Amino acid sequence: MTTIRMLVFAAAAVAMIALTGLVVPPAAPAVAAAAPIHPAVIASMQGTGDGRATFFVLLAEQADLSPAYAITDWGARGQWVVDALQAAADSSQAPLLRALESPSVRGHVAQARPFWIVNTIAVYGDRQAADFLARQPGVAQILPEVKLELPEVLVEEPSDSPETVEWNIAKINADDVWALGYTGAGMVVANLDTGVDYTHPALVSKYRGNLGTGASGPFDHNYNWYDPYWNTTFPQALPWQAGGTVPSGHGTHVMGTMVGSAGANQIGVAPDAQWIATFGCCPDNVTLLAALQWHLAPTRLDGSSPNPALRAHALQNSWGGSGGSSIYAQAMAALKASGMFVSASAGNNGPSCGTLTSPGDLGSVFSVGGTRSDDMIYAYSSRGPNPFSSQTGPDLVAPGVGVRSSVPGGYYQEYTGTSMAGPHVVGAVALLWQA
Strand partners, 406: 412
Contacts of 310 (CB under 8 A, 6+ apart): 223, 298
What is the C-alpha to C-alpha distance for residues 393 and 396, in angstroms, rounded to an integer?
A: 8
The DSSP secondary-structure symbol of 136 reads S
Q: Are 279 and 228 in contact (CB under 8 A)?
A: yes
**Strand 411-416's sheet: what is its strand order?**
154-158, 411-416, 403-407
The DSSP secondary-structure symbol of 321 reads E
Catalytic status, residue 250: yes
Q: Are 247 and 281 in contact (CB under 8 A)?
A: no
Query: DSSP readout, 99-125?
Result: HTTSHHHHTTEEEEEEETTTTEEEEEE
Q: Are 229 and 269 in contact (CB under 8 A)?
A: no
The DSSP secondary-structure symbol of 424 reads H
If phi > 0 it is left, if psi is from -120 to 50 it is alpha, else beta; for residue 324 that is left
Catalytic status, residue 193: yes
List 227, 405, 419, 424, catalytic entry: 419
Contacts of 231 (CB under 8 A, 6+ apart): none
List 126, 193, 227, 272, catalytic entry: 193
Catalytic status, residue 352: no
List 250, 253, 295, 313, catalytic entry: 250
Amino acid at 294: W
| Torsion on CA atoms 223, 229, 231, 234, rounded to nearest 10 | -50
The catalytic residue positions are: 193, 250, 419
